[in-house]
């Protein structure tokens, strides 16, 4: 809310929607425990509905549910810590206290699933358990940046790298840790709450324990797998040198980054399929890169808005995406169409999804695209 003297200025529609969304996400974190326990209660009810002879064959069933409840309690304590830090997430903006309508805003199953996803993202980005995924998805990007901008040939502190869709910030953190000037960008408040907490409120290595798989009631090989603990963070973010040039920016990638010829490198991991229009992403990446700059991408084409009601989505096959990349003016300097990678995968679970990802390195030529289709002043 803006103030002028003692007079309170009314919110505009955009500010109101931002405030409502902010508090809706907070409510989703706050409702996690109630929602998770309801699922456990269903299992308990279903157990008691079994014939007595069958219940006697499962003496460990109810004690296991008790352990699951305890794990949920632990998760909720961590989520409460994240909530406590949420108000100071934006240096230049405060969303103010929740209104009555904010407090009574419904929390959907979709919202609560986002909270569970955040717990799994902590595994991927900030645990030893997630190292194998980071080696698949982040290491090729980091190694490529180091080849393109080697420290023995340039001052890496002057090399600017943008990481859109930064999630909980580990890829951007690792790039900055290697001396590059790096900024992560993220639009999801779930991810922003989590990254703000882990990056700015760290108290050492593995000081927190979460139970990210406690919601998985299916495909468990052992009942212990469901309550398996994961310790975070596996590295202390506070050890990043104070001289490091590292920042996180909140907002829609297409809206935040409009200045042409601004970045030496754009690094995207599991990002370009997250928008409504993949062409707009590619166009913006081209526009904001400096002439001679590089785009390094690794990920699938899942298209997050595909088949979601009332959401627009353009789904293109990779051969079409590749043509579009060239049409916008990029030179493709490296390509691998079969990079295996998993995403927030539970190593102990019977169900395994593995993507055959595209790894592509593209260069923006020193001169503008000759066909004149690109407007450097637009995004």
What's the rounded Cα separation, in Å, for the pair 172 and 164? 9
Domain count, the chain: 1
> Which residues are registered as beta bridge partners of 246?
182
pLDDT single digits (tens) 228-238: 999 999 999 99
Q: Give a yes or no: residue 54 inside a domain.
A: yes
What per-residue confidence (pLDDT) applies to 96?
A: 59
pLDDT at 7 over 50: no
Q: Give a yes or no: residue 2 inside a domain.
A: no
What's the rounded Cα separation, in Å, for the pair 143 and 149? 10
pLDDT at 47 over 80: yes
CATH of the domain at 273: 3.40.50.150
What per-residue confidence (pLDDT) applies to 373?
A: 45
Q: Give a yes or no: residue 5 inside a domain.
A: no
Q: Give a yes or no: residue 173 inside a domain.
A: yes
What's the rounded Cα separation, in Å, for the pair 281 and 271? 9
Q: Give a yes or no: residue 144 inside a domain.
A: yes
pLDDT at 1 over 50: no
pLDDT at 371 over 50: no
Domain that holds residue 236: 12-363
Q: Give a yes or no: residue 269 inside a domain.
A: yes
What per-residue confidence (pLDDT) applies to 142?
A: 98
pLDDT single digits (tens) 98-152: 665 666 678 999 999 999 999 999 999 999 999 999 999 999 999 999 999 999 9
pTM for the model stands at 0.91
Mean pLDDT of 31-50: 98
- Please state the φ and ψ torsions of residue 330, each to the nearest 5 degrees: -70, 150
pLDDT at 43 over 70: yes
- Label residue 323 by pLDDT band (50, 70, 90): very high
Q: Give a yes or no: residue 373 inside a domain.
A: no
Q: Give a yes or no: residue 375 inside a domain.
A: no
> Which residues are registered as beta bridge partners of 186?
250
């Amino acid at each position: 809310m803006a103030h002028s003297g003692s007079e309170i200025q009314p919110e505009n529609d955009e500010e109101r929607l931002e405030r409502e969304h902010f508090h809706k996400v907070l409510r989703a974190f706050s409702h996690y425990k109630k929602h998770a326990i309801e699922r456990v209660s269903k299992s308990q009810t279903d157990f008691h509905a079994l014939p007595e002879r069958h219940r006697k064959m499962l003496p460990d069933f109810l004690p296991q549910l008790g352990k699951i409840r305890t794990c949920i309690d632990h998760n909720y304590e961590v989520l409460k810590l994240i909530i406590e830090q949420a108000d100071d997430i934006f240096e230049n903006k405060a969303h103010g206290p929740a209104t009555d309508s904010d407090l009574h805003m419904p929390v959907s199953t979709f919202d609560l699933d986002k909270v569970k996803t955040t717990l799994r993202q902590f595994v991927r980005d900030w645990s030893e358990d997630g190292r194998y995924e980071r080696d698949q998805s982040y290491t090729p990007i980091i190694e490529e940046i180091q080849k393109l901008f080697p420290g023995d040939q340039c001052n890496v502190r002057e090399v600017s790298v943008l990481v859109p869709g930064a999630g909980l910030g580990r890829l951007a953190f690792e790039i900055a840790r290697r001396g590059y000037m790096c900024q992560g960008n993220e639009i999801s408040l779930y991810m922003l709450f989590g990254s703000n907490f882990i990056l700015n409120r760290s108290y050492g290595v593995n000081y927190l324990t979460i139970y990210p798989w406690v919601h998985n009631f299916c495909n468990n090989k052992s009942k212990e797998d469901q309550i398996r603990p994961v310790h975070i963070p596996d590295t202390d973010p506070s050890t990043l040198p104070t001289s490091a040039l590292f920042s996180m920016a909140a907002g829609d990638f297409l809206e935040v980054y409009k200045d042409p010829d601004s970045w030496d490198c754009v690094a995207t991991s599991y990002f370009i399929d997250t928008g409504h229009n993949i062409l707009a992403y590619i166009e913006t990446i081209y526009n904001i890169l400096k002439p001679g700059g590089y785009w390094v991408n690794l990920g699938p084409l899942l298209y997050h808005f595909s088949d979601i009601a009332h959401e627009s989505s353009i789904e293109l096959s990779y051969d079409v995406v590749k043509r579009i990349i060239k049409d916008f003016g990029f030179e493709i300097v490296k390509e691998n169409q079969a990079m295996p990678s998993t995403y927030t995968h539970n190593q102990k679970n019977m169900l395994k999804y593995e993507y055959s990802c595209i790894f592509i390195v593209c260069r923006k030529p020193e001169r503008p695209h000759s066909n004149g289709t690109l407007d450097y002043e637009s995004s």
